[in-house]
Chains A and B, each alone.
Chain A
């Protein structure tokens, strides 16, 4: 199986910290899981270690969420495979700063995604 170029959208403050513009694209060996993507991200941008997940436990920081293919995958196992569209680079993995409000109604997900792409800063 070939190495995938995974697309990652970081929140504003982490883009600033890592000195990147737009999406980050990283080659990740399959199977593409959240942990493998974050490992690759932190390998390239060590300043992000500790900002997305705890240094020691590697647990997600409480006010961060992971979205993929219009679903909140924050509570899935970080060792589960990510959706094929994310693994293949057709859809980005969104890392966002948690914000209050929102809805879980499927019809509103597109609007929610649009909002989070515009600004995910706390």
Chain B
């Protein structure tokens, strides 16, 4: 019998939600790391029991946690479970230090337009390798990409990204200057896509050594040059592993599509009543079926008219239909953040999303109907799902 495991990161801890393939009855465990902000948690596609967690705090900084039993128990790889022969804990999984020898620590643009030094704050996104359970990428604020090849015991920056010559033009979005999206290409192990608010999208075709901005076609009216190479506030990018190279993007405003690995983008907002939003994802089996959760505007981060709707396009954009069955259609003023939507890979593809009001919803029928799994968690920052055999 198939199972699904939903990994939920919230403002005050992590939760693991499990159900069988019917996705009707749910077990809820947690909070893990109670009181800490869990920006993201994600399982390895190679070993589903290996789960990586970004645990962070404005007071105490950054911790990375791991589980090797599907979320039942956890350890900080540097925090006591690994010991020397003398019994002393060793390692330090929370050390994220920019590689200033390879790429000098320059400056980026600050909110007021002045230049500001790069300063590590937290890990926004963890992306486990598609081929090695011990390898995991981390997207951090201030924007940079790190890689661990030893199960998060140690981290090395891939400095070619931060060292890209456009760095001084990057600027923080409202949430900070974060690298929040990492997409690995299953057909080409050297191809990586990332997105930064507010720099834009970048692609590497050599395993992260060098990077190319891929923002042609994005238009951002807040930039002096609307078509500038960088400076765009990309909120999230999704790609079906069944069709690498076709990308869908929720930008600050605008839903976008690229059919050439990001070289060119075109708007596919179509009939959406508002195309501001954060989350976007692709159906597991139908690469032209995509989902967004539009938000009223950049100034009002809640659904239009107080009605929570997921919009689905079965045509790869432009033609959208509202999915509302089971979702609140009055007095709803929550947000759906960029990493808070996911899909499972069961035959009847399940769609999941979490809200800043603490609800996690599931649709076991590709968006037609919805049910809350939980209603009263802390604000949800991220949702990932694992489909277990």
Contacts and interface: CB of A to CB of B under 8 A. Distances in A.
Interface of A: 11-14, 16-19, 43-47, 49-52, 55-56, 61, 63-64, 97-98, 121-122
Contacts, number: 75
A63 B60 CA distance: 8
B95 A63 contact: no
B59 interface: yes
Contacts of B97: 55-56
Contacts of B89: 44-47
Contacts of B34: 16
Contact of B94 (A16, A44, A49): A49
List the 10 closest pairs (A to B, CB-CB), nearest first: A47-B79, A51-B60, A63-B59, A97-B59, A50-B94, A49-B92, A47-B76, A46-B92, A46-B78, A122-B59
Interface in B25-84: 34-36, 57-63, 76, 78-80
B58 A51 contact: no
Interface string B89-133: 111111111000000000000000000000000000000000000
A52 B62 CA distance: 11
Contact of A50 (B35, B59, B92): B92
A18 B79 contact: yes
Given A13-B35, A56-B97, A45 B80 contact: yes
B88 A61 contact: no
Nearest to B96: A55
Nearest to A52: B60
A46 B59 contact: no
A61 B61 contact: yes
Most chain A CB inside 10 Å of its own CB: which residue of B60, B76, B95: B60
B183 to A, nearest CB: 28
Given A55-B95, A55-B97, A50 B61 contact: yes
Contact of B59 (A44, A45, A56, A98): A98
A46 B95 CA distance: 10
A13 B78 contact: no
Contact of B80 (A19, A50, A56): A19
A97 to B, nearest CB: 5
Nearest to B93: A47
28 contacts: A13-B36, A13-B60, A17-B76, A17-B79, A18-B79, A19-B79, A19-B80, A43-B88, A44-B89, A45-B79, A45-B89, A46-B79, A46-B89, A46-B90, A46-B91, A47-B79, A49-B92, A50-B61, A50-B92, A51-B61, A51-B94, A55-B94, A55-B96, A56-B97, A63-B59, A64-B60, A98-B59, A122-B58
Contacts of A122: 35, 57-59
Most chain B CB inside 10 Å of its own CB: which residue of A12, A19, A47, A97: A47
Contacts of A97: 59-60
A122 B59 CA distance: 8
A18 B88 CA distance: 12
A13 B92 CA distance: 17
A76 to B, nearest CB: 20
Nearest to B60: A51
B57 A13 contact: yes
A47 B35 CA distance: 17
A47 B62 CA distance: 10
A2 to B, nearest CB: 23
A121 B36 CA distance: 11
Contacts of B35: 12-13, 121-122
A17 B59 contact: no
A116 B10 CA distance: 26
A74 B7 CA distance: 39
Given A11-B60, A13-B59, A50-B95, 14 more contacts: A11-B59, A12-B35, A14-B60, A16-B34, A17-B76, A45-B79, A45-B80, A46-B78, A47-B78, A51-B61, A61-B60, A98-B59, A122-B58, A122-B59
A47 B60 CA distance: 11
A122 to B, nearest CB: 5
A43 B92 CA distance: 11
Contacts of A51: 60-61, 63, 94
Contact of A47 (B57, B88, B94, B96): B94
Contacts of B58: 63, 122
B153 to A, nearest CB: 11
Contacts of A16: 34
Most chain A CB inside 10 Å of its own CB: which residue of B61, B79, B90, B94: B61
A51 B76 CA distance: 13
B75 to A, nearest CB: 9
